[in-house]
Amino acid sequence: MARYFLARFLGLAMVLLATSFLVFSAIHLAPGDPVTFLLKGHPATPEAKAAVRAQYHLDDPFLSQYAQWLGDVCAGDFGRSVQFRQDVGALIASRLPTTLFLIGYAALLIVLAGVLLGIVAALRPGFVDRFVLIGTGVATATPSFVASIGLVSVFSVKLGWFPTFGGGQGFAGRVEHLTLPAVALAFTLSGLLARVTRSSMLDELAREHVEVARARGVAETDVVRRHVLRNALGPIVTVVGTMIAGLLVTTSIVETAFSVPGVGGLLVSSVNVKDFPVVQAVTLLTVAAFVLVNLVVDLLQPLVDPRLSPTGRGAS
Amino acid sequence: MAFLEIDELTVRLPQGRAARPILDGVSLRVGEGESVGLVGESGSGKSVACRSVLGLLPEGAAVSGAVRVGGRDVLGMRRAELRSLRAREVAMVFQDPRASVNPMRRVGDFLTEGLRAAGTAPAVAARRAVELLEAVGIRDPEGAMRRYPHHFSGGMLQRVVIAAALAGEPSLLLADEPTTALDVTTQAEVIAILTRLQAERGTGMLFVTHDLELAAAVCDRVYVMYAGRIVETQTAAGLFARPRHPYTAGLLASTPRLDPDAGPPKPIPGRPVSLAEAPTGCAFAARCAQVRPECLVEPPALVRADDAYAACFRVDEGIVT
CA distances from A94 to A28, A90, A265, B183, B258 (A): 27, 6, 13, 66, 85
Express each pLDDT in B119-162 by its tens digit.
889 999 999 999 999 988 889 999 999 999 999 998 899 999 99
Three-state SS at B234: strand
Chain A contact residues (CB < 8 Å to B): 207-209, 211-219, 222, 226-227, 230-231, 304-307, 314, 316
Express each pLDDT in B13-72 by its tens digit.
888 888 888 999 899 999 998 999 999 888 888 999 999 999 998 888 899 999 999 889
Contact between chains at B114 and A208 (C-beta distance less than 8 A): no
Which one-letter amino acid corresponds to residue B53?
A: V
Contact between chains at B101 and A216 (C-beta distance less than 8 A): no
How many domains would you assign to chain B? Answer: 1
Q: Which helix (H) or strand (E) holds B222?
A: strand B221-226
Angle at A52 between CA A46 and CA A57, to 5 degrees: 120
Mean pLDDT of A51-64: 77
- Count CA atoms within 13 Å of residue A185 on its CB side: 36
Distance CA A261, CA A268 (A): 11
pLDDT at A83: 77
Which of B250, B221, B227 has its CA nearest to residue B309? B221
Of B87, B114, B148, Cβ closest to residue A314: B148
Minimal-distance CA residue of chain A relative to B116: A218
Q: What are the backbone angles phi and psi of residue B101, rounded to the nearest 5°?
A: -110, 130
Å between A17 CA and nearest CA of chain B: 37
Say if residue A41's pLDDT is above 70: no
- Cβ neighbours of residue B73 under 8 Å, at least 6 residues apart? B66, B67
pLDDT at A235: 92
Express each pLDDT in A148-176 by its tens digit.
888 877 887 777 787 777 767 777 777 77
CATH architecture of A96-308: Orthogonal Bundle (1.10)
pLDDT at B252: 86
- Cβ density class B184-214: b for 16+ within 10 Å, e for less: eebbebbbebbbebbeeeebbbbbbbebbbb
Q: What are the backbone angles phi and psi of residue A233, rounded to the nearest 5°?
A: -65, -30
Contact between chains at A213 and B113 (C-beta distance less than 8 A): yes
Distance CA B282, CA B298 (A): 6
Which one-letter amino acid corresponds to residue B303?
A: V
Contact between chains at A217 and B96 (C-beta distance less than 8 A): no
Which of B206, B254, B253, B260 has its CA nearest to residue B230? B206
What pairs with residue A280 in β-bridges? Answer: none
Residues of chain A contacting residue B47, judged by C-beta atoms under 8 Å apart? none
Minimal-distance CA residue of chain A relative to B105: A306
Minimal-distance CA residue of chain B relative to A231: B104
Which of B302, B276, B278, B306 has its CA nearest to residue B224? B302
| Range list for CATH 1.10.3720.10 in chain A | 96-308
Q: What are the backbone angles phi and psi of residue A164, rounded to the nearest 5°?
A: -90, -20
B150 touches chain A (CB under 8 A): yes
Q: State the CB neighbour count (10 A cutoff) for residue B126.
A: 19
Residues of chain B contacting residue A213, judged by C-beta atoms under 8 Å apart? 102, 113
Mean of the per-residue pLDDT values for chain A?
Answer: 84
Contact between chains at A217 and B56 (C-beta distance less than 8 A): no
* Residue bearing the bigger pLDDT, A120 or A52: A120
Q: What percent of chain A has pLDDT over 70?
A: 92
Could you tell me how far CA A185 lies from the centroid of its own chain?
A: 10
CA distances from B108 to A259, A305, B254 (A): 55, 16, 42
Q: What are the backbone angles phi and psi of residue B190, rounded to the nearest 5°?
A: -65, -40
Å between B68 CA and nearest CA of chain A: 17
Distance CA A283, CA B316 (A): 89
Say if residue B320's pLDDT is above 60: no
- Cβ neighbours of residue B93 under 8 Å, at least 6 residues apart? B158, B161, B162, B165, B173, B174, B175, B176, B178, B194
Contact between chains at B96 and A208 (C-beta distance less than 8 A): yes
* Residue bearing the bigger pLDDT, A39 or A78: A78
Å between B287 CA and nearest CA of chain A: 34
Angle at A85 between CA A83 and CA A90, to 5 degrees: 105
Confirm if A37 and A82 have CB atoms less than 8 A apart. Answer: yes
Express each pLDDT in A102-111 by its tens digit.
999 999 999 9
Confirm if B128 and B120 have CB atoms less than 8 A apart. Answer: yes
Our CA dihedral for A213, A219, A222, A224, rounded to 10 degrees, sits at: 70
Of B91, B99, B102, Cβ closest to residue A231: B102
Which of B212, B219, B247 has its CA nearest to residue B232? B247
Domain that holds residue B149: 4-317
ipTM of the shown complex = 0.85
Distance CA A263, CA A284 (A): 12
End-to-end CA distance of chain B: 37
Which of A260, A258, A295 has its CA nearest to residue A96? A260
Beta strand residue intervals within B227-310, DSSP E: 229-235, 303-305, 308-310
Q: What are the backbone angles phi and psi of residue B303, rounded to the nearest 5°?
A: -120, 155
Q: Among positive and negative, which fits the CA dihedral B136, B137, B142, B144?
A: negative
CATH value at residue B264: 3.40.50.300
pLDDT at A315: 42
